[in-house]
Amino acid sequence: MGIHRFLLPALLAGAVLQPTGVQGAGYGIYEQGVAVLGMAGAGTASVHDPSAVFFNPAAMSWLSGAQIHAGGTALTTNTSFAGTNPYPGYGVTEEMRRQTFFPPTLYATRRYNDRWSMGVGINSPFGLGVDWQDPERFTGRYIVTRADLRAINGAVNWAYRVTPQLSLAAGGNILFAQVDLRRRVLVPSPGGGGGQVDVASVRLHSDYDPGYGWNAAVSYAPVPEWRLGAAYRGKIVVDTEGDAEFTQIPTGDPVFDAGVAATLPPDQGVSTVLRFPAIWSAGIAWLPAGTWTVEGAVVFTEWSLFRDLPLRFKQTPANDETIVEDYRDTFAFRFGAEHRLPAFTYRFGYYFEQAAAPAPSVTPLLPDAARNGATVGLGLPLDAGKRWQLDLYDLALFVDRRGTEGRERDGFDGEYKSFINAFGAGLTYRFQPPGEQ
Amino acid sequence: MIAMKTSSLTRLVLVALLASGCAKIEPLSSPAAVGGSADFGTYVALGTSITAGYQSGGVANQHQMTSYAASFARQTGKPVLASGTGSFTYPAIGADGIPPLLRLVSLSPLQISNAGRTLGSPLNLGQVGAYHNYGVPGALLLDLADETHYYATVPPVNRTTFTFFDLIARHSGTLLAQAASLGPTFITFEYGANEVLGPATSGSGVAALTGPQFAALLNGTLDALEAAAPGVKLALFNVPDVTTIPFVTTFPPVVLDANGNPVIVNGNPLTLVGPGGTPLGLGDYVLLTAQADLAAGNGFPTGTFSYLTGAAGTNQPLTDAEVLSAGEAASIRSAVDQYDAAIASEAAARGAALVDLRGLLQRAATTGIPFQGTEYTSEFITGGLFSLDGVHPNDLAHGILCNVLIDAVNATFGARVPHVDLRGLATATSSRARPAAAGGRARPRIEGLGDGLAALFPWRDEPAP
C-alpha cells in the first residue's frame, strides 16, 4: 500500500499542472491513456479501462462497475533547426530548449445497469510548447521566440448497450484553451545597409476561454475473439481574448528610439480564434486465447480546420494579422498488442502519422512533420484483488526530418529535426473487483 | 519483480533514445550549382553602375564583392576575391572608393557625407586580359559595342571629366570585344537604366533614346554579342521605373507644418515654388539634389518655413534641374515601358532568362519586400534597400536581386543555382560608419553626392540631344 500513498498524490499533482507539449501531428496530443499508449494508441476497438472516455466511449459498456483512473505523461521534446539560403543561411543552426510537459488524464466511468454507462474525463488532447534558445539572437525571433498553447478538455459521455454485442455512445466536450505567443519586432537599421535592429518584444497572452464539441462512438463485439470500434470527436472552436503587450527595446540612439516609440502600438486587447480539429478513429481488435489483444486502428484528424491563426487588435486594427497555416487532414495508422500474464501485462506497438502542415507552414512556431512512434508498456496489478492497477508506457517518437523546401511563409528556410520521448504512468482503481458486475 | 521489469523498460527506453540520433541537427552546406542547359564555366557581367556594385556614391571593393554579379559568380562556384583577381575578376577599387563613399554621419540632424574620406585606388588596374565584370557606372547601351564616347568629349555623351571607362575599359577596345575575348559561356546583361536615370535625376523627361531607337540598338547589340560569343547563354535585366527611387521621391512637393502635415490653403495643399516661379503640382517630384536650396528656404513661399531646417521661405523658385515634373516623369515611365517591351521580346526570341528588376523595384515601392518579418521599401535611409546616394541598391538589395536572377536562370535553363545568403548581406550601415550622436531637428545634408552624380551622369551640365 506504500506505493499507493506515494504515487497518488504525485499523479494528482500532475493533473493540476498546466498541460502543454507537442506530440501528435499539428498540435494534437493523442497520449490520453497509459494502457492504450502502450499499444501505440491502437485502442479504439479494444480499450478496456476508463480512458475509453477519450478513445471510444461506447467501450465503457464493457467496463465493470465503477472505475477511476488518474495518469499522466512526461513529454520530453528535443528540436533543432539547420538553415538554408536565402535566410537564415547555410551553416546556421538553432535549438529549442529541451522541455518536459505533463499532460494529465483523469477519467471515471460507471456502469449503472445492463444498458447504461456513464463516463467523465479531464485531459489535454491538444497543446503546443515552443521555446527557442537564446531568444535575443535566435534567427527566427521575428516569427516566434516562445509559444504555448494550452487546452484542458472536460468530457461527459453516455453509453447505451443496444444488444449484448453492440454499444453506442454520445457525449459532449468543453475545452478551455489559452495561447501565449512571444516574438521580436525588427526593423531596418537606419544606416542604409539593410541590417536589422530589434526594437520591441511582443507578447500576446489570452485568457482560458471555452469551446464546445460532441462525441459519438460505437463498439461491436460479435464474438469474444473480435471487437470493432469507431469513434468521432467533433471539432471545437474557441474564440479567445487577451492582452497584447509591446515592450520597446532601446537601441541607444534617442532619435531612432523616439521614432520607434511613435509607431509602436499601445498595449491593448487582442482576440484570436483557436481551432481544434475533429478526430475520427476506427479499429479492429483480435483477442485470441483470452490473453492476447492485437489491434489495428486508423485515426483521421481534420487538420484542414486549422487554416489560420487570426490576431485582431482592439485599438490598432492596422496591426491585425492572419497567420496562414492551410493544414491538411492527416491519417495515423496505429498497431499494438497486449499480452496479459497472471502476474503482469506487457504491451508494445508502433504507429505512423502523416504531417499536417504543408511546407510553407513548417515554421519555428510549429515545425510539423510526419512521425513514427514505437511504444512499450507494462501493467501491474498492485493488490491481490486486482482493484488497483498501475500502468506504465514509454513512447520513442522519431519525427521525420522536415525541410521547408524554400517556401516557408515568413522566409525562414531550412530543416528541422525533432525527437520526442513520452513516459507515462497511470493508476486505475476498480470499485468492484474484475469479474463482478 | 517490479524492479526487474522497470529496469528492462529503462533499458529499452535508453536503446530507443540512442538509436534515435536525438543529437542536435548538423549544419547544412550549400549544394553546388547545376547548370542545366546553361554553362556557368565563364561568366561575364555586362551592365551599368548596378552591375559594377556602385553604392553610396562610389565604387569600392567591399561592395563590388557583394554586387549581384559577384554573388552570382560565387553561387556558381567561383571565388570572388577582394583583390579583384581569381576566376571572377573585376576592377577592384580600394578604400574609401572612387569617389569616396558617402557615410551616415548623423541621423539627426540627418547628415550624409564623404568628407574626410580618402579617394580609393585601383587594385588590379594592370590585370593582363579582360575582367569578368564589365559593369561600368554611367554606361549606356550604346557604349557596349562602341568606344567612341568612353574617354572623349564627343556628343552625345559629353564625358568631360574622369569616367569609369578609364579604370575598366582601360583603352583596350570595346567592352564587348574585351568580354568576348574571355570566351564567355554565360552573360548577364543589364542596360537601359542610365538612358532614363540620367535625365530623371537631372529633372529632364527626355530619355537618351526613344523606345524604337533603344529596341533597334538592343537588337543589333545582342546580335553582335551572340556573334562574338557563339553559344553563349544570356540573362537580360529589364529597366526599373526610376521615378520610384528615393532620389526622386524623398522630398514632398508641398509645404509642411511643424507636425509634418501638408499646409492647406483654400482646401488644397500649398505646394513649393517651382521653376519660373510656378507653383509645383502635387504630382511633381523634388529631387534629392534640391536639398541645399530647400535647407536655405528656397522653393518655400514667403511666410512658410523650410521643412528641412525651419528657415523662412524665400519664395526663390527651385531650378528646373531640381524638379522632375509630373509630365517629365510620365515621359520617363513611357520610355521605360518601351525599353522593357523590347527587352522582353529579345529575351523570348533568344531563349534568354528575363530578370525582372523592374518588378522587384515596383514591389519595393508599393507592397514592400518582406525580410525577417519587416517590409523593406524604397524609403530613403529607413527603407533598408537603397544605399546612401538614394539611387543605388545596397548589399541586401543586391542579394535579393541576385536571387531574382537565380530564379529566372533556374526556370529558363533548368539550372539549380542555390540562393544567396541574405543574412550575410544585411549590414548595419551601407558604408561601415556608425551614426554619430543624435539631437536636434532632422536636416538632410548630403555632401559629396554631386561628385558621384557628375561621374555617373556627365550630361547633367550639357544634356544629350
**Higher pLDDT pick, B20 / A180:** A180
Q: Can you point out the beta strands (E) in A116-195? A: 116-123, 127-131, 146-161, 166-188
User: Could you report the per-residue pLDDT of B2-41, keeping only the tens digit for each?
Assistant: 444 455 656 655 555 555 556 789 999 999 999 999 999 9
Tell whether A297 is covered by a domain.
Answer: yes
Which residue ranges form the domains of chain B, and what is each CATH number?
Answer: 43-249+332-460 (3.40.50.1110), 264-324 (no CATH)
Judged against a pLDDT cut of 70, whether residue A21 lies above it is answered with: no
pLDDT, chain A, mean = 91
Judged against a pLDDT cut of 50, whether residue A372 lies above it is answered with: yes
Question: Can you give the length of chain B in residues?
Answer: 465
Q: What is the pLDDT of residue B279?
A: 96
Question: Can you give the length of chain A in residues?
Answer: 437
Task: Give me the residue from B387, B418, B423 closest to A87, CB to CB.
Answer: B423
CB-based contact, B5 to chain A, within 8 Å: yes
How much is the pTM? 0.87
User: Could you report the per-residue pLDDT of B273-300, keeping only the tens digit for each?
Assistant: 999 999 999 999 999 889 889 989 999 9
> How far off is chain A from B411, nearest CA to CA, in Å?
15
CATH of the domain at A387: 2.40.160.60
Mutate to test the interface with A, among B6, B15, B20 (most CBs of A within 10 A): B20
Average pLDDT of the residues in B48-54 = 96
Average pLDDT of the residues in B101-114 = 81
- Quote ipTM for the complex: 0.82
In sequence order, what are the residues at sequence separation of 6 or more whose Cβ sits closer than 8 angstroms to the Cβ of residue A210?
A174, A175, A176, A238
Q: What percent of chain A has pLDDT over 90?
A: 82
Which segment of B89-93, B259-263, B322-326 scores lowest on mean pLDDT?
B259-263
Residues from chain A contacting residue B108 (CB–CB below 8 Å):
255
Nearest CA-CA partner of A191 in B307, B111, B25, B151: B111
Q: Are the beta carbons of A255 and B439 separated by less than 8 Å?
A: yes
Nearest CA-CA partner of A40 in A227, A276, A366, A294: A294
Nearest CA-CA partner of B452 in B96, B36, B15, B34: B96
**Higher pLDDT pick, A196 / A42:** A42
Nearest CA-CA partner of B399 in B383, B375, B423, B415: B423
Domain span at residue A175? 2-430
**In which region does residue B21 sit, left (phi positive, over 0), alpha (psi from -120 to 50) or beta (all else)?**
left
Q: What is the pLDDT of residue B440?
A: 32
Q: Do residues B162 and B19 touch, judged by C-beta distance below 8 A?
A: no
In sequence order, what are the residues at sequence separation of 6 or more whose Cβ sits closer than 8 angstroms to the Cβ of residue A333?
A296, A297, A298, A299, A351, A352, A353
Tell whether A96 is covered by a domain.
Answer: yes
CA distance B449 to B349: 40
> How far off is chain A from B71, nearest CA to CA, in Å?
12
CA distance B447 to B102: 8
Buried b (16+ CB within 10 A) or exposed e, B40-79: bebbbbbbbbbbbbbbbbbbbbbbbbbbbbbbbbbbbebe
User: Could you report the per-residue pLDDT of B116-157, keeping only the tens digit for each?
Assistant: 899 999 999 999 999 999 999 989 999 999 988 888 665 555
Cell numbers standing for residue B415: 539550372
CA distance B455 to B162: 7
CB-based contact, B7 to chain A, within 8 Å: no
Q: Number of folded domains in chain A?
A: 1
Q: What is the pLDDT of residue A189?
A: 81
Beta pairing partners, B333: none
Average pLDDT of the residues in A62-73 = 95
Q: Are the beta carbons of A192 and B29 separated by less than 8 Å?
A: no
Average pLDDT of the residues in B68-91 = 96
Q: What is the pLDDT of residue A169?
A: 98
Judged against a pLDDT cut of 60, whether residue A8 lies above it is answered with: no
Amino acid, res. A248: Q
**Higher pLDDT pick, B111 / B446:** B111
CA distance A323 to A308: 5
Average pLDDT of the residues in A135-151 = 95
Q: Are the beta carbons of B16 and A421 separated by less than 8 Å?
A: yes
Average pLDDT of the residues in B366-371 = 92
Tell whether A437 is covered by a domain.
Answer: no
To 5 degrees, how large is the angle CA B246–CA B241–CA B189? 110
Residues 367-406 of A with CB under 8 A from B: 374, 376, 378, 380, 392, 394, 396, 398, 401, 406
Q: Are the beta carbons of B435 and A253 separated by less than 8 Å?
A: yes
Judged against a pLDDT cut of 70, whether residue B435 lies above it is answered with: no
Cα→Cα distances A300→A52, A337, A362, Å: 18, 21, 20
Tell whether A130 is covered by a domain.
Answer: yes
Q: Are the beta carbons of B372 and A86 separated by less than 8 Å?
A: no
Q: What is the maximum alpha-carbon separation in chain B?
A: 103
Cell numbers standing for residue B59: 565604387
Task: Give me the residue from B19, B373, B438 closest to A186, CB to CB.
Answer: B373
Judged against a pLDDT cut of 50, whether residue A437 lies above it is answered with: no
Tell whether A436 is covered by a domain.
Answer: no
Q: How would residue B1 be classed by pLDDT, with cut points 50, 70 and 90?
A: very low
Tell whether A18 is covered by a domain.
Answer: yes
- Highest mean pLDDT (candidates B9-18, B253-262, B328-337): B328-337
Q: What is the pLDDT of residue B437?
A: 32
Which segment of A7-11, A66-70, B158-162, B342-346 scores lowest on mean pLDDT?
A7-11
In sequence order, what are the residues at sequence separation of 6 or more whose Cβ sits closer than 8 angstroms to the Cβ of residue A57?
A119, A157, A158, A159, A169, A170, A171, A215, A217, A231
Mutate to test the interface with B, among A6, A196, A350 (most CBs of B within 10 A): A196
Tell whether A64 is covered by a domain.
Answer: yes
Name the residue of chain A whose CA is nearest to B29's CA.
A90
